């Protein structure tokens, strides 16, 4: 493994860093206070990202993407991760699952999403099925050339902005030695399709300005040509993409933790109590040792997984370890960041309290910490179980 940054990578990182500093960071406080991003600001950020070639960098060049390898992409994600998620997701990396588009789906969904003309959202979670994705009850029943979809999804991120949703629904059952197992298919469903309603949910405390929605399907008719991937194989396409998504999240967390570390160090190096800067107290300085070490460890796990992804050898547990370590590290670093700032750290108008709030969701979405531990422990123990 060689993580030395090449000249090309440095050029990309310099332009992402400049973009983050000029286009994203100045708006963070206002967006967090309002819980909204003004439509014209959204359009401007997206337009600038597209103009500067920063959009859909995770997609292959042959479909119009940036064609970055995983290691370079994670270096980019660390830079983007410095900014609040509500803003940085506008510099989008659409769901790679769209690479499963075939035939006419490429023109209608994949290519315009890569160019930024259309926006996707990804909908598995339901009120009765979160960690247990196979517990979903949204059904798609075949009727001639169509499927008729009924059910409800919730917590679906940025569905308010999306033009279409990638929706997972039960299409049958297979007999297995352990009993019947649901067969799940993913569908591309346009907003505006009769029987498809999208409504905003109450805001989360993390990443204000980044909204979640309920998607309700009531006798929603979708042509079978809108199946993404193959019938009954929805989780095959989803699983391929989930690993990459977990790495993105891990890299974002590392970038944000590095920012918190700098902010906390600036505070500790200038705040005086008992006649000296608080950084001189071992009780404070040792926190920095742990924060820096944890951050570096999460960084290495993330880059190792990215490197393995580039070799085609990344396992689910590699991605799970990176996600688990980086999200839990960010939670601890943000908490210590608040502690180092004392009372000022919990004031609503300082960035540190926002980082602390924002960090909380990272251990929940894209698979909770418990689910990541489940994936890792299964991989360790399965070969030894009789």
Ligand X SMILES: Cc1cc2nc3c(=O)[nH]c(=O)nc-3n(C[C@H](O)[C@H](O)[C@H](O)COP(=O)(O)OP(=O)(O)OC[C@H]3O[C@@H](n4cnc5c(N)ncnc54)[C@H](O)[C@@H]3O)c2cc1C
Q: Quick one: which segment of 231-239, 257-265, 280-288, 367-375 binds ligand X (CB under 6 A)?
A: 367-375
Residues in contact with ligand X, total (CB under 6 A)?
20
What are the residues whose beta carbons fall under 8 Å from the beta carbon of 365, sequence distance 6 or more?
155, 157, 249
Using CB under 6 A as the binding rule, whether residue 187 contacts ligand X is answered as no
Q: Quick one: which segment of 20-28, 83-91, 339-347, 359-367 binds ligand X (CB under 6 A)?
A: 359-367
Using CB under 6 A as the binding rule, whether residue 353 contacts ligand X is answered as no
Scan for tokens 């960035």, then name that residue.
351
Closest CA to 109 of 256, 283, 226: 226
C-beta nearest to ligand X: residue: 130
Using CB under 6 A as the binding rule, whether residue 85 contacts ligand X is answered as no
* Distance in angstroms (rounded) separating the CA atoms of residues 106 and 63: 9
Closest CA to 191 of 170, 154, 166: 166
DSSP annotation of 382:
G
Nearer to ligand X, 204 or 278 (CB): 204
Of 109-168, binders to ligand X (CB under 6 A) are: 122-125, 130-131, 155-157
Q: Quick one: which segment of 41-49, 77-85, 239-247, 366-374 binds ligand X (CB under 6 A)?
A: 366-374
* DSSP letters for 272-296: EETTEEGGGSHHHHHHHHHHHHHHH
Triad 323, 249, 51: Cα angle to 5°: 160
Nearer to ligand X, 146 or 203 (CB): 203
Contacts of 160-164 spanning 24+ positions with Cβ under 8 A? 160/198, 160/200, 160/211, 160/213, 161/42, 161/119, 161/121, 162/119, 162/120, 162/121, 162/191, 163/118, 163/119, 163/120, 163/190, 163/191, 164/109, 164/118, 164/120, 164/121, 164/188, 164/189, 164/190, 164/191
Using CB under 6 A as the binding rule, whether residue 372 contacts ligand X is answered as no
CB of 373 to ligand X, least distance (A): 8
Tell which one of 204, 237, 248, 330 touches ligand X (CB under 6 A): 204
CB of 121 to ligand X, least distance (A): 6
Closest CA to 169 of 147, 191, 196: 147
- Alpha helices (H) along 82-170: 85-88, 104-105, 111-115
Three-class DSSP category at 333: helix
Using CB under 6 A as the binding rule, whether residue 339 contacts ligand X is answered as no
Nearer to ligand X, 133 or 305 (CB): 133
CB of 212 to ligand X, least distance (A): 5
CB of 155 to ligand X, least distance (A): 4
Nearer to ligand X, 107 or 132 (CB): 132
Q: Quick one: which segment of 28-36, 215-223, 280-288, 361-369 binds ligand X (CB under 6 A)?
A: 361-369
Using CB under 6 A as the binding rule, whether residue 252 contacts ligand X is answered as no
Give bridge partners of residue 146 from the DSSP assignment.
Answer: 143, 223
Tell which one of 185, 212, 226, 252 touches ligand X (CB under 6 A): 212
**Which residues of this chain interact with ligand X, rule CB under 6 A?**
122-125, 130-131, 155-157, 204, 212, 361, 364-368, 370-371, 374
């Amino acid at each position: 493994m060689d993580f030395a940054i090449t000249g090309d990578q440095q050029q990309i990182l310099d332009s992402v860093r400049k973009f983050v500093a000029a286009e994203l960071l100045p708006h963070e406080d206002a967006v967090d206070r309002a819980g909204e991003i003004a439509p014209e600001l959204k359009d401007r950020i997206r337009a600038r990202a597209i103009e500067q070639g920063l959009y859909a960098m995770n997609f292959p060049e042959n479909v119009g993407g940036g064609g970055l390898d995983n290691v370079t992409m994670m270096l980019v994600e660390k830079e983007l991760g410095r900014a609040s998620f509500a803003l940085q997701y506008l510099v989008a990396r659409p769901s790679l699952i769209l690479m499963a588009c075939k035939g006419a789906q490429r023109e209608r969904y994949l290519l315009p999403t890569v160019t930024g003309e259309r926006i996707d959202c990804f909908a598995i979670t339901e009120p009765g099925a979160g960690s247990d994705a196979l517990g979903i009850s949204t059904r798609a029943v075949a009727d001639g050339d169509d499927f008729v979809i009924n059910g409800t999804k919730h917590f679906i991120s940025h569905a308010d902005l999306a033009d279409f949703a990638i929706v997972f629904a039960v299409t049958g059952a297979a007999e297995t030695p352990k009993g019947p197992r649901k067969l799940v298919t993913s569908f591309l469903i346009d907003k505006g399709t009769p029987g498809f309603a999208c409504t905003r949910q109450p805001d989360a405390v993390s990443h204000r300005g980044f909204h979640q929605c309920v998607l309700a399907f009531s006798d929603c008719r979708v042509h079978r040509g809108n199946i993404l991937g193959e019938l009954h194989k929805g989780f095959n396409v989803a699983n391929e993409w989930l690993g990459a998504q977990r790495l993105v999240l891990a890299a974002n967390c590392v970038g944000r933790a590095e920012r918190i570390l700098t902010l906390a160090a600036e505070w500790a190096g200038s705040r005086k109590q008992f006649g000296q800067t608080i950084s001189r107290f071992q009780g404070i300085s040792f926190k920095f040792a742990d924060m820096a070490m944890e951050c570096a460890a999460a960084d290495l796990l993330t880059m190792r997984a990215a490197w393995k992804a580039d070799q085609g050898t990344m396992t689910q547990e590699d991605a799970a370890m990176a996600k688990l370590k980086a999200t839990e590290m960010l939670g601890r670093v943000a908490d210590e960041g608040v502690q180092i700032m004392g009372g000022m750290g919990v004031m609503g108008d300082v960035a540190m309290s926002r980082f602390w709030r924002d960090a909380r969701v990272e251990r929940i979405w894209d698979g909770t910490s418990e689910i990541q531990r489940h994936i890792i422990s299964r991989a360790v123990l399965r070969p030894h179980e009789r």
